Amino acid sequence: MQAPINFILRLLGFLLAGLMFAAASGCGEKTPAQLEKERRENMELAVKRARVLLFENNPLKAVEILENASKQWGVDADLCETLANAYAQSGQIGFAAMFFDKASDLKGGDPELQISAAKSYEQSASLESAVKSYEKYLKMRPQDTVVWKTLARNYEKLGLMEQSMNALMSSIRTSGRNPNSAEAAQVGLLFLKLGNTIQSQRWLTAAYAATLPENKQVRKDILLGLIQIRLAEKDAANLDRNVAELDAIDPSALDANFPQLRKKIAEFKKSLKEAQDALAAEKLAEEEKKKAEEAAKKAQAEAKQTAAAQGVKDAQVAVSQASAPDSGKADSEKKGKEATPESSRSEKKAADSAADSKSGDSEKKSAGEEKQGETKTPQMEDATVKDAAEKPAPKEKSPAEKIYEAIEKNDLKNAEQMAHKTVADDPDSHQAWTALSKTYEAEGKNNDAFLAAGEALNRNPDDIDATLYYLRTASKVQNNERFLNSLYAARKKFPRNAEILIGLARTYKEMGDRKNSEFFYRTFLNDVRIDHPRYKEIEDEYGRYSAQDKK
């Protein structure tokens, strides 16, 4: 009896042990949900501990905890954001940017995290990553004008000028207002970097006029841009003015940005002054010589008039003596006999002296009378002297006429010397600069001719002939893009001028821009009278051009 009981107890013990083993085995195997819950709890715990450490200004320990947690439990948006803040607080900006970026992605696009990533990338000089982050942010918040400007600045740093211009224009458009002076200056400087000097000059000039004097930095940036344009255009007059304006704001700015420019300007002014002084001395010497010649001519004329008057007087005396009665002669002889010896001798000497002084004139007069076959009366003598005095001198040619005459004779060296002297004598004369330009043109100095023509146009800006001549010289030295700018500037003043329209049509044709070229051909044919000397030529030219398109 005792044996069966022991067996049953032993069996129950085995069963209980098995149940306990089974229970123990079941508690060791965790479900996926349990594992995920445990992982999240561990990450949350690590994040909480890290935030406390950051609050206690211990970012390095926080970084250590979060890095270990990420290796053991993986990452989520909160852990990435906290780790990014820990990296940023510890000065590891590049790592901070990456984890801000990742946190934003894990949240499905968070604008605050994305802008933090972009700024951190920019701060760590990772400009390409910064640009991408700014672009992602602007897709979420496209009305943020400040970020558009920041993106434009980063594009510019990367040398992507067109993208920079587009971003800046997007900033201005989204603002819903006209650009302020700083924005206009930025647009002008971007146009300058794109090589569009005409647009750059328009924006910069407008920006400079609108910028307050106390806003010195913007005015300085504008003037540096304008100086660069003046150098490209070789505009000496405006260059001098802009340099003076820049020196008034910051005397060191010119030397910092254009180290050799001040020296070159000084050398140019020195050479110009020396040339002007030499020409002035030459002019003074010529004036003195001219005065001396005029004085000699005047003295000679006075001497001739005196001699003529004396001749008339002598003729009158001779006529009077010839017509006197014999009784007068007898009386005079009688009185002569009654005179004293001393008075007779004095009268004889005076008569001899008068006879000597008249002898030459009498001989000349006799020869003239013999040749003419008649004797001149005193009235005829007066008329001869008067005609000689009143005869007008030939009109002296102007300096420009003398220069053009020398050019026609191919005496180019003399023409250039005269042209330089004419400009030095009257530097404000557009005729003088035009004559100098045409001299250079005849010598084949196309660039010098273009510069001189520009000076002439500056002094006579509303003259169509000066404008067309300037365009003629510009066409020889400017590329198509710059020449196109010159043509548009001229068309602004003379919108219906036929030659300007032809220039626009042909320039666009050379550039391969058929649409604009045909537009200006048609504008010419529609606006210009059919009896214009070049109408038939341009009509045929346009016909051939249009036919090429149809082929």
Q: Which long-range contacts (CB under 8 A, 24 or more apart) does 209-216 make?
A: 210/180, 210/181, 210/184, 211/181, 211/182, 211/185, 212/181, 215/181, 215/182, 216/249, 216/250
Structural tokens at position 297: 């001519």
Q: Within a 10 A sphere around the Cβ of 226, how many other Cβ atoms?
A: 26
In total, the chain counts a number of residues equal to 551
Phi, psi of 260 (to 5 degrees): -100, -5
Give ∠ CA 523-505-497 in degrees, rounded to 5.
55
Give the C-alpha separation, 85 to 108, whole Å.
19
Measured distance CA(394)–CA(221) in Å, rounded: 59
For residues 509 and 533, is the Cβ–Cβ distance under 8 A? no
- Which residues have C-beta within 8 Å of that of residue 277, sequence separation ≥ 6? none
Residue type at 461? P
Return the pLDDT at 333. 43
Q: Which among 437, 480, 443, 442 is positioned nearest to 457, based on CA atoms?
A: 437
Which of these, 103, 98, 115, lies nearest to 75 by C-alpha position?
A: 103
Q: Which helix (H) or strand (E) holds 86?
A: helix 77-89
Gap between the Cα atoms of 442 and 412, Å rounded: 7
> Residue with structure tokens 């991408």?
132
In whole angstroms, give the CA distance from residue 27 to residue 40.
20
pLDDT of residue 342: 41
Q: Residue 139: what pLDDT?
A: 95
Domain with CATH 1.25.40.10 in the chain: 397-477
Q: Are 93 and 120 in contact (CB under 8 A)?
A: yes
| 503, 516 contact by CB (below 8 A) | no
CB 201 within 8 A of CB 213: no
SS (H, E, C) 124-189: CCCHHHHHHHHHHHHHHCCCCHHHHHHHHHHHHHCCCHHHHHHHHHHHHHHHCCCCCHHHHHHHHH
Longest dimension (CA), the chain: 226
Render 188-209 in DSSP notation, one character per residue: HHHHHHTT-HHHHHHHHHHHHH
The pLDDT tens digits of the residues spanning 469-496 come to 999 999 999 998 889 999 999 999 999 8
d(CA 76, CA 64): 17
Distance between CA atoms of 130 and 115, rounded to whole angstroms? Answer: 9
Kindly tell me the burial class for residue 537, based on how many C-beta atoms sit within 10 Å of its own C-beta (0-12, 13-18, 19 or more).
exposed
**What is the spatial distance between Cα 443 and Cα 449, in angstroms, rounded to a whole number?**
9
For the chain, the C-alpha Rg in angstroms (whole number) is: 51
541 phi/psi in degrees, rounded to 5: -65, -45
Identify the CATH number of the domain defined by range 478-551: 1.25.40
For the domain bounded by 397-477, which CATH number is listed? 1.25.40.10
CA distance 130 to 85: 18
All residue ranges of the chain with pLDDT < 50 are 1, 23-26, 319, 324-390
> Half-sphere exposure of 189 toward its Cβ, with a 13 Å CA cutoff?
21
Q: Read off the DSSP letter of residue 380.
A: H
What pLDDT score was predicted for residue 270? 64
User: Which residues does 428 contact at the CB level (< 8 Å), separation at least 6?
Assistant: 459
pLDDT confidence of residue 153: 95
DSSP 50: H
Q: Quick one: CA torsion of 111, 115, 121, 125, rounded to 10 degrees?
A: 150
